[in-house]
């Protein structure tokens, strides 16, 4: 067990873990959700079968759509697969490409992905896809300040805006975990994640009613492998956001501290376990609340904004 893995391989493993693990996490959430509703639910591996099926299908594009319509899913998935290079997925020590971008860099990549998907949806001329992208952009504009304030909190806590630095700060002592600023920022981030992954109370994840759709509606016109890429992309985004929440904010433990193969293997298991735990919480929330009316989403975001701003206040003005 003392075989040391080369650093580039670990870096690659970070991306592979997220890429391969993401559908499984989605599968587990769907299963837990079904169980909570008293249904048997789909197999945990169902998302993999769905993706495999879609990848074998024929792809069609609406008449008049340009090359961008087909390029968008590829760009989005490429952006999602770049983010795991920047955040602590498997190791507690920064990997060489880890300083390529900070939290804002990761945020830019995630918004780039959502921007290209929205633009591709606009290309289609389908009213529902356009409605979805318009809504998605409107609501992501109002969640942006929340994310910014969370980043400010991280900056005030660590003096940097590197995800690795915050994880190290949280690990350093118990006082850092129980600080109100840290807890408030984590809670605000969790609310943003509920919003970004299209979960109740913002959006029904598995519905067919177009009127309440935000993110889901954008992929309506894509088909075949491109649709598979979009689905896979939203699963990747979900796992990335869960990883940021658990490995940077809430529980940065279980990461590999060395290059030994055993430690890295353990870290992969720990990551998936933590993401599944977050997913179970999300599933419980999904089953305990009703979907908010569209115009009530501002209240939800105002709540998240309140948490993030109070986090900054307690640090910057309150000294705690």
> Residue 67 burial (CB < 10 Å; 0-12/13-18/19+)?
exposed
Q: Considering the rule CB under 8 A, would residue 303 count as an interface residue with another protein?
A: yes
> Which candidate, 244, 243, 218, 214, places its Cα nearest to that of 229?
218
The answer to whether 265 and 259 have CB atoms below 8 angstroms apart is: no
State which residue, 2 or 173, has the beta carbon closest to another protein: 173
Residue 179 or 199 having the CB closest to another protein? 179
Contact stretch for another protein (CB under 8 A) within 22-30, 92-100, 112-120, 300-308: 300-308
Comparison of 178 and 290: residue with beta carbon closer to another protein: 178
The pair of structure tokens assigned to 234 is 């939203």
Are 114 and 272 within 8 A, CB to CB?
A: no
In the region spanning residues 179 to 208, those forming contacts with another protein, defined by CB under 8 A, are 179-180, 183-184
CA dist list (Å): 6 to 9, 24, 95, 260: 5, 27, 11, 9
Partnered with residue 91 across adjacent β-strands are 256
Residue count, binding to another protein (CB under 8 A): 34
The one-character DSSP state at 290 is P
Q: Is 3 near another protein (CB under 8 A)?
A: no
Using CB under 8 A as the criterion, what x/- string covers residues 29-68 for binding another protein?
A: ----------------------------------------
Give min distance, CB of 289 to another protein, in A. Answer: 15
Instruction: Please name the helix (run of DSSP H) or strand (run of DSSP E) that holds residue 182, with its range, or none.
Output: helix 180-196
Query: At which residue do the structure tokens 């985004």 appear?
Result: 237
Question: By CB under 8 A, what part of segment 160-179 binds another protein?
Answer: 172-179
Q: Is 314 in the site for another protein (CB under 8 A)?
A: yes
Interacting residues toward another protein by CB under 8 A = 155-159, 172-180, 183-184, 298-299, 301-303, 305-307, 309-310, 313-320
């Amino acid at each position: 067990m003392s075989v040391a893995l080369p650093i580039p391989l670990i870096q690659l493993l970070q991306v592979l873990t997220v890429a391969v693990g993401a559908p499984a996490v989605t599968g587990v959430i769907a299963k837990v959700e079904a169980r909570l509703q008293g249904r048997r639910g789909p197999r945990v591996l169902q998302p993999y079968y769905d993706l495999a099926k879609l990848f074998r299908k024929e792809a069609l594009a609406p008449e008049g759509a340009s090359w961008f319509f087909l390029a968008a899913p590829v760009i989005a998935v490429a952006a999602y697969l770049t983010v795991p290079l920047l955040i602590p997925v498997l190791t507690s020590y920064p990997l060489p490409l880890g300083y390529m971008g900070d939290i804002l860099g990761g945020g830019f990549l995630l918004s780039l992905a959502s921007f290209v998907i929205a633009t591709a949806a606009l290309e289609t001329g389908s009213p529902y896809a356009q409605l979805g992208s318009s809504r998605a952009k409107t609501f992501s504009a109002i969640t942006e300040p929340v994310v910014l304030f969370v980043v400010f909190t991280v900056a005030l806590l660590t003096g940097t805006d590197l995800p690795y630095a915050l994880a190290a700060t949280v690990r350093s002592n118990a006082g850092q975990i129980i600080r109100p600023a840290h807890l408030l920022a984590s809670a605000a981030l969790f609310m943003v994640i509920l919003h970004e992954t299209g979960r109740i109370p913002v959006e029904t994840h598995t519905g067919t009613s177009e009127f309440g759709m935000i993110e889901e509606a954008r992929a309506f016109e894509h088909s075949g492998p491109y649709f598979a890429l979009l689905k896979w992309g939203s699963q990747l985004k979900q796992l990335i956001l869960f990883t940021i929440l658990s490995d940077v904010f809430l529980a940065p433990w279980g990461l590999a501290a060395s290059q030994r193969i055993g430690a890295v293997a353990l870290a992969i298991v720990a990551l998936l376990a933590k993401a599944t735990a977050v997913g179970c919480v999300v599933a419980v929330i999904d089953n305990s609340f009703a979907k908010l009316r569209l115009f009530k989403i501002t209240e939800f975001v105002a709540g998240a904004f309140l948490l993030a701003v109070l986090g900054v206040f307690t640090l910057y003005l309150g000294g705690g």
